[in-house]
Structure 1
């Protein structure tokens, strides 16, 4: 999510002659616009959507609404010499992920902060002189918790909001930023992914909880013994910038009405418990 490296980002700006708090005059460089020209606008929420939905696609189909914003980011990566011209197509696929990760590393980011998914700091830096960023998304603290389980602040806020929509209480059996459970296939390695206890809930309550989680912006499924699991709900906070690659691939599955499992079967959620795809920031705006 980039934010832990604010100090480095300040050094990055200083290395370009920009003092903190000073008026900024952007020099005209490759890919930059004259100061008098209007800058393009990049919606970070839409770029993050493309980051999740596009890479697992078997082709280069565009994601409606997200493609124009992904294209502007790709143009900037091309201007930095990190992306081939043929890949500037509005499809935020694996080539764009790799190019953006290289951009993050050039700013000094490592690990999860160089995963190819734009964070607030790196996207703003890439846009300097090229585009402005709207609808910023941040995961918040990575050491927050919900019911004693580690999650980031964004995920904790989403769980609290979902909890207000149901009569039962949300109890986590697995949090985020953990690789303790090999059955999770790496989905919990990053942020935004949790498992929720449902053993004490009725069938109706389980599905109502799935609907509540989806309402606030989770890709959520009820896992059952027929799936090879004990009963629980698996939920991915859509557009979490810290989410692992396997977690993001499950968001792709959710987007296309699949179950998020290796068999790629159709989502078995009853129609009355489904909601249109959304994410936390959009939900908050109402």
Structure 2
């Protein structure tokens, strides 16, 4: 066999080099990826939290196109009947997405029916690209409690707005740690904040600051349940939320109090934003 000369090899490499990007992806493949439709992960997750709690099948504004792409992919994997491919991320779609997550070998919080970056990217392979990615980050310890880095950043910004510290009474990833929490603290994104030393006006100011940075937050009193005074806060769109916490987020968007009685929201009124939306404001 005749081997090419060194000069010939270098010439061939130079000819093909423009076709290969720094990531190792060919120009043609990169063009194919750019041509794929986009799933806006922020909008998708918002719909997955709100739609199952709606009394009707109203589609979450700005989410329909992304939800349809995900539902079509689930349908083609025989995880969702065609009649549910409607752009509405209701409980049937949540269940189908959880089945898809389990088919990947995920369990627990990683199979909660709420799209995460890894599972969503896999579902979209060759079908759609994922934009506006939301990630909870790694688990960290703060004040003796476990939360994730996204929640930590949100709390830090709320403290900055308030110009005061906030002491946690309970953190996240605490399954069975407090039966009065009804499973909301089983996953990520959920904290209870001490109101020790706070008067009514201060408690309200804290809830307002938490809401501004992307929490669904409420003052909880002993008359509402078997618990002491505290502030309960759930980070909107944290992809590691327990199903109970997901329901709280949906209820918050619908003007409810996040409790089992689904009463009217009793907190300060603010424009509802996720942490990502707050950062872009």
TM-score normalised by structure 1 residue count: 0.84
Equivalences, count: 256
Q: How is 1:119-138 mapped onto 2 (pairs within 5 angstroms)?
A: 119-138=116-135
Q: Which has the higher helix share?
A: 2
Write out per-residue CA displacement over residues 156-212 of structure 1, whole angstroms, 9 at most, x where no aligned residue.
111111111113311100000112100000010011111000121121111111010
- Point out where structure 2 has 5 or more consecutive residues left out of the alignment: 1-22
* Cα distance in 2, alignment partners of residues 78 and 267 from structure 1: 36
- Point out where structure 1 has 5 or more consecutive residues left out of the alignment: 1-20, 28-33
* Cα distance in 1, alignment partners of residues 45 and 199 from structure 2: 35
Residue 279 of structure 1 pairs with residue 274 of structure 2: yes
Q: CA RMSD in A?
A: 2.0
Which stretch has the larger CA shift, 146-155 or 241-250? 146-155
* Cα distance in 1, alignment partners of residues 203 and 34 from structure 2: 53
TM-score normalised by structure 2 residue count: 0.86
Given that 2:169 and 2:194 are in contact with CA atoms closer than 8 Å, whether structure 1 keeps it comes out as yes
Which stretch has the larger CA shift, 209-218 or 68-77? 68-77
Given that 2:33 and 2:129 are in contact with CA atoms closer than 8 Å, whether structure 1 keeps it comes out as no
**Structure 1 residue 68: deviation in Å?**
2.1
2:103 corresponding residue in structure 1: 106
**Runs of 4 or more consecutive aligned structure 1 residues displaced over 6 Å after TM superposition:** 24-27
**Structure 1 residue 37: deviation in Å?**
8.7
Write out per-residue CA displacement over residues 226-258 of structure 1, whole angstroms, 9 at most, x where no aligned residue.
323321100000000000111111111110111
1:60 corresponding residue in structure 2: 57
**Structure 1 residue 108: deviation in Å?**
2.2
Q: From the superposition, tell whether residues 150 and 131 of structure 1 become closer, same or farther in structure 2 (CA, over 3 Å).
A: same
**Structure 1 residue 75: deviation in Å?**
1.1
**Structure 1 residue 275: deviation in Å?**
1.0
Bigger-Rg structure (1/2): 2
* Cα distance in 1, alignment partners of residues 26 and 39 from structure 2: 20
Q: Secondary structure at the match of 1:55?
A: helix
Q: From the superposition, tell whether residues 257 and 24 of structure 1 become closer, same or farther in structure 2 (CA, over 3 Å).
A: farther
